[in-house]
Structure 1
């Protein structure tokens, strides 16, 4: 079964090359990759892709920068097969990823979203275990082996703390293309997508089998937005909207969890000292507002 690997790109070129090569090293060679370059200013990139001589890889370059959300939505337009991955441009697929996804999709036909086991690395490729990882581990549903999750219990769990690693997730094409990314979110669009699928009756397969290396580094777009407090303005709007939608769905526990958004507020609290130290006045104000509201 051919797996579509969508690869929206804008960022570190050397890390991007490592990510692409990790796909080419898959034990299951039945995949196609569509690279959607959002106009990153490096003239060597098209030539590098051409030098690979791999007809499974299609390289496209946007004439106008669309931003992360716009580029994700554009990439979804290139889906052709039943299984899809929207891969991060600085992450690493372990050699078993495609084989893992194909196997789990066949074994669990009722699953729409597939989360493998993930190791987290830093910008230098070293193992990383930040406070974010510790919180994700604490909230991730307990159990061993592949297990299906669905309904209000799954929604409430994700709203309490998003323990998923979006670039590592596999998707049923019919689900992700039918739902798509919400246009008005630029930081939490991944969580919004999963919750929209869950609200519509979809299910998630959570597996312990390690198949992906997720890269977390201080220079990421979400990290910068977090220190300025910008991401929390969006998160606050998102959680209040989710509270309304979960209540309309007849899921009171999920609605209460969204309204409280406790871990998001605690995250803002942990960033306050750093924002103050760097004299990010607007960041301190935004973080403080998110904490108390």
Structure 2
């Protein structure tokens, strides 16, 4: 009987999607069900490929009209039914022991709402990379080994700099029942964990690598960051988060939201590129975000 819903929202490279699906099919643990939600990517070969798999554990849905990334993510969240779920990126890869590891950790730590396993970062050609962003994430992640984190200290840590790799997270589905999932959010991969932590949930962090996260400049988030658009979204998010942390009585977390250190650092790193491109619109956005 399946215990894990693997939700795969998709709009991107069909070849990488197929590889992501095959990495799930290669799991040593077989207690999973996958739902691929195609947000209308213009490639007629995708549906027939899934039909040809003949794998009853895999469900393929093509949205009748494009929803956009955030709304497609929300649809996937609302479709979760099993005890655990993963919102996997359609270009990421599970190593064969991923589900074995995260489910074993959930068993050992029944109070944990989320498991963050060890992650290896790869580029568009599957080469292991260590970018500045990932180096900062590693520095910001509290402690080493298996550790269960929660409360204001965790909220403040994530607001200083989001060191989670959202597509690798394995969630306890019941954690979503304790919160009101945000109606809309600009920074989906931080807003949802923050809601769970604010409601008393904990995150179990592990260093054993069992997931490969793909990072490359042509991703949606990378393109938005280059143009500066993402920073306007992040500024709105952090203002809202500061208000929420004040209301909760978490002053350290509220201060972290107000400072949003790693977000400003990211903007600073993008400034030289905007100068070289003579992109005045991006320069205004980046400089404004950096100044707060």
- TM-score norm. by structure 2 comes to 0.97
Aligned pair 1:218/2:240, yes or no? no
The 3-state SS of whatever aligns with 1:112 is strand
Q: Is the 8 A contact 1:240 1:259 kept in 2?
A: yes
**Residues 148 and 202, structure 2, Cα contact 8 Å, conserved in 1:** yes
Distance 1:147 1:166 in 2: 18
The residue number in structure 1 matching 2:28 is: 27
Check conservation: 1:95, 1:211, Cα contact below 8 A.
yes
Residue in 2 that maps onto 1:83: 84
CA contact (8 A) 1:180 1:193 kept: no
For 1:45, the equivalent position in structure 2 comes to: 46
C-alpha RMSD of matched pairs (Å): 1.2
Q: Which residue of 1 aligns with 2:68?
A: 67
Give the SS at the match of 1:109.
Answer: coil
Distance 1:113 1:92, change over 3 A: same
Q: Which residue of 2 aligns with 1:193?
A: 192
1:159 and 1:132 map into 2 onto residues whose CA distance is 15
- What is residue 203 of structure 2 aligned with on the other side? 204
1:279 shift after superposition = 2.5
Instruction: Kindly tell me the number of residue pairs found equivalent between the two proteins.
Output: 291
**3-state DSSP class of the match of 1:213?**
strand
Matches within 5 A, 1:28-177: 28-144=29-145, 146-176=146-176
Please report the TM-score for the alignment, with normalisation by the length of structure 1: 0.97
Using the alignment, how far apart are the partners of 1:103 and 1:46 within structure 2?
A: 34
List runs of 5+ in structure 2 lacking aligned partners.
Answer: none
Query: Deviations 1:60-98 (Å, cap 9, x if unpaired)?
Result: 000111111100111122212100000000000010111
Residue 273 (structure 1) shift:
1.1
Q: How far does residue 278 in structure 1 lie from its aligned partner after superposition? A: 1.8
Cross-structure match for 1:249 = 248
| Partner Cα separation in structure 1 for residue 127 and residue 38 of structure 2 | 27
The answer on whether the counterparts of 1:76 and 1:177 sit within 8 Å (CA) in structure 2 is no
Alignment check: 8 A CA contact 2:13 2:91 kept: yes
Q: Whole-Å Cα distance in 2 between the matches of residues 9 and 256 of structure 1?
A: 36
Kept after mapping to 2: 8 A contact 1:5/1:87: yes
